[in-house]
Amino acid sequence: MAEEKTTISSDIMVQADGLVKIYKTRDTEVLALQGLDLTVHTGELTALIGNSGSGKSTFLNMIGGLDKPSAGSLKVDGRNLFTMTERELVRYKRDTVGFVWQNNGRNMLPYLTALENIMLPMNLSGTRHKRAKALELLEMVGLSAKKHSKMNMLSGGEQQRIAIAIALANEPKLLLADEPTGSVDSATADYIFDIFTELNKNGQTILIVTHDMALSKKVKRVVAIRDGKISSERVLKEEFADRVKESGIDWRAEDTQDEYVVLDRANRLQLPQELLDELKLTGNKVRLSYHDGRIEIRGPEDDRKESL
């Protein structure tokens, strides 16, 4: 039976609504996602950031078809991931998404050459002209000279660039990358980010999980996850939009983005930690009031005012 495709706007690649994920052990339960809502549009390059345990990798694994929620819905390219049959899910992981793992060992088979590793997904999908396509991808990541190299002959940065080529082998509609610069030096990280930006300019939708502050401050849209839900979004300032390849900018130090707190579907928001620190709260209650177009927040024990 043919897979049914949910009606959804063609410019939306990812639509997550109320995702909840509970991991259970014999002694405890861990709430990894707490009603996460997110929309990613086709052609966007989006970064997900957050502390360890915030839920960002859990969310990425769900989009990749590797995990399912305890509640909520998730549609990618109009397909409801949680109503797919096993056969449909295999086809989805093969043709719709490409995944770049942080652990290079998950990206490559050590007994195959770089060229053979890139051709492997094409063998599974029946792609024609596999060798020519693989050579083209090797050139794109700048490693044509390494086509006959096996994993143990490549540096960590080279392995990660090969991983990107492997992920793109079947021309996925969505490229997922989990900490793609987490184990490489800053120069290689810049090179990898340049590959992503060029792909994005050509229409590739990309979702990156990262702890790399310099990388995240170059991305046009950054979504922060805190305690299993979206807490804020950062948008690249216009004056930095065309300067992401400039080597003279200290991307860690520059204030390159505007930050916005995000209201969830129930009109709840998470206040930035810096604001809470300034309020010097001793409990979990605040006073809210509205004056002159501003929402004012005060701790209950004093008249200290902070406006959003």
pLDDT at 253: 79
The reported pTM is 0.86
Tens-place pLDDT, residues 129-160: 889 999 999 999 999 999 999 989 999 899 99
In the Cβ-directed half-sphere of 270, how many Cα atoms lie within 13 Å? 17
pLDDT at 255: 85
Q: Which residues contact 2 (CB under 8 A, 6 or more apart)?
A: none
CA distance 257 to 259: 6
User: Which residue type does 195 have?
Assistant: I
53 sits in the region (left: phi over 0; alpha: psi -120 to 50; else beta) called: left
Tens-place pLDDT, residues 158-181: 999 999 999 999 999 999 999 998
Which residues does the chain have with pLDDT short of 70?
1-9, 300-308
Q: Which of 118, 188, 192 is nearest to 149 (CA)?
A: 118
pLDDT at 9: 61
In degrees and rounded to multiples of 5, residue 178 shows phi and psi of -100, 105
